[in-house]
Amino acid sequence: MPMFRRFVMFSVQMLAVVSMFSLNAFAQEKSAKAIWVEFQTSQGDITIKLFPDKAPKTVKNFLTYVDEGFYSDTIFHRVMPNFMIQGGGMTADMKEKRTHAPVTNEADNGLSNKLGSIAMARTGNPHSATAQFFINVKNNASLDHQSKLNGRSWGYCVFGQVVKGMNVVNDIRKVRTGQHGHHSDVPVKTVLIKKAMRVKK
């Protein structure tokens, strides 16, 4: 085989190897940007894909609670069937758990409060979110970041998306609710978060 032809074939083979290595590296890098968490609830399991590249502080804050086991035996304490389901901060007897310091609001990250997205719950203070979260059961663009003028326009920080168990979310949103003390929209029958943990995909 002529030397030139051998050189061309060798170059093509090397290029293929380099391209494959680059694609694998890209896939690993892309995969590393996502983290998965599973909620085991009394209604079934819900798997959330988190976006640390879009909401690094929020994801870090959320994972701190996950890794500490904070969400075990908390409940979905607020269910609005045409809006969202909220949980992660109350025990079954509606006592609020102690939390770490609030996290900076990252609602200006370009993510929208669309169907199935998970976002941080907070008070009127835009930087008051701690452990409580909510899952949108419809597209709630009105909760998205608009400006930094006030608490309302700041929006609610989306930091993940339901990738498995949306049927469970829908089951939860359909539960019967009532009043519990000064809390409204509380499920009559407890919807328990048994455990939250990281999972691999």
Residues 55 and 113 sit within 8 Å (Cβ to Cβ): no
Mean pLDDT of 24-53: 79
pTM: 0.84
Fold classification of 34-199 is: Cyclophilin (2.40.100)
Question: Is it the case that residue 24 has pLDDT exceeding 80?
Answer: no
- At 12, the pLDDT band (50, 70, 90 cuts) reads very low
Q: What is the pLDDT of residue 124?
A: 96
Q: What is the pLDDT of residue 17?
A: 41
The pLDDT tens digits for 95-129 are 999 999 999 999 999 999 999 999 999 999 999 99
Which tokens belong to 109? 């990250």
Mean pLDDT of 24-33: 44
Residues 121 and 113 sit within 8 Å (Cβ to Cβ): no
Pairwise CA distance, residues 151 & 158, whole Å: 16
- The ranges assigned to domains in the chain are 1-32, 34-199
What share of the chain has pLDDT > 90, as a percent?
82
Which tokens belong to 172? 């939860």
Q: What is the pLDDT of residue 189?
A: 97
Q: What is the pLDDT of residue 11?
A: 47
- At 34, the pLDDT band (50, 70, 90 cuts) reads confident
- At 201, the pLDDT band (50, 70, 90 cuts) reads confident
The pLDDT tens digits for 144-169 are 999 999 988 999 999 999 999 999 99
What share of the chain has pLDDT > 70, as a percent?
84
